[in-house]
Amino acid sequence: MELQAVPVPRARLGEGPRWDAGTGTLLWVDIPAGLVHRLDPAGDEQETIDVGQPVGVAVPRAEGGLALAVRDGFAVLADGEPAVRDGFAVLADGELIVTAAVTAAERPGNRMNDGACDRAGRFFAGTKAEDDTPGAGNLYRLDPGRSCERVLTGVTISNGIGWSPDERLCYYVDTPSDQVDVFDYDPATGELTGRRRFARLPQPDGLTVDAAGYVWVALWGGASVVRLRPDGGHDLTLQVPAANVTSCAFGGPGLDDLYVTTAWDGSTGGELWRCRTPFTGLPANPFRDLA
């Protein structure tokens, strides 16, 4: 597998790649810049939406548009034709709707970070303090119908989350713990139980799970993505030409292209990388806004 840089502008903190099967495009974000990017790989054409505040992840919305984890909480962005200013699509007032303002009840300076949806359309995303205060964040679940529940407390940097192919397991990263945890997961209720260590890794960040049940984890400061077996053992390491690797996701028509996001460290990073693999990913699930 050989990574190639996708010809798009560098991000300060690229994160949250998600394949939008409905449009055949890749979504990813630049967190502090508040930018949501969309890539059409057919011609590597890219468009960018400025949502006006830091954004941790963007996922497709089953009803159209996007669901977001932004600084203030969970939000939705309906379909439309935003105006363009200085090369960026700019939202009109009221188009970005915060549906669950979770950070209002947390310490000042917290924001939302990475997240993902299960097959039922529940949107899981967590928070962190901008100064990385230990234990200042939480993990939340936004259900169809927009009811929101805090499902995990005492998190420091809530990061990658993903499910096994049968959705009986949920993998989760709180980066400073230096491990990937696994929960038993009830796909009927969205309940997480039985938290335990899945694998020890230095500064794990975002993750994705492939169709064979192997877990791919980006390593912040580790210049790599590792593939872990379903038992947590190491399978392979993909070297990335950037120190701070933030997340990864499968995309393309066959879900066999691996996209990797990175962050600028002052000298390198910030690129979006892509490689063809002999593996197949799982489809990214949309958020289902309506119960």
DSSP string, the chain: ---EE-SS---SBEEEEEEETTTTEEEEEETTTTEEEEEETTTTEEEEEE-SS-EEEEEEBTTSSEEEEETTEEEEE-S---EEETTEEEPPTTSEEEEE-GGGGS-TTEEEEEEEE-TT--EEEEEEETT--TT-EEEEEE-TTS-EEEEEEEESBEEEEEE-TTSSEEEEEEGGG-EEEEEEEETTTTEEEEEEEEEE-SSEEEEEEBTTS-EEEEEBTTTEEEEE-TTS-EEEEEE-SSSEEEEEEEETTTT-EEEEEEE--SSS---EEEEE-S--BPPPPPB----
Catalytic center residues: 205
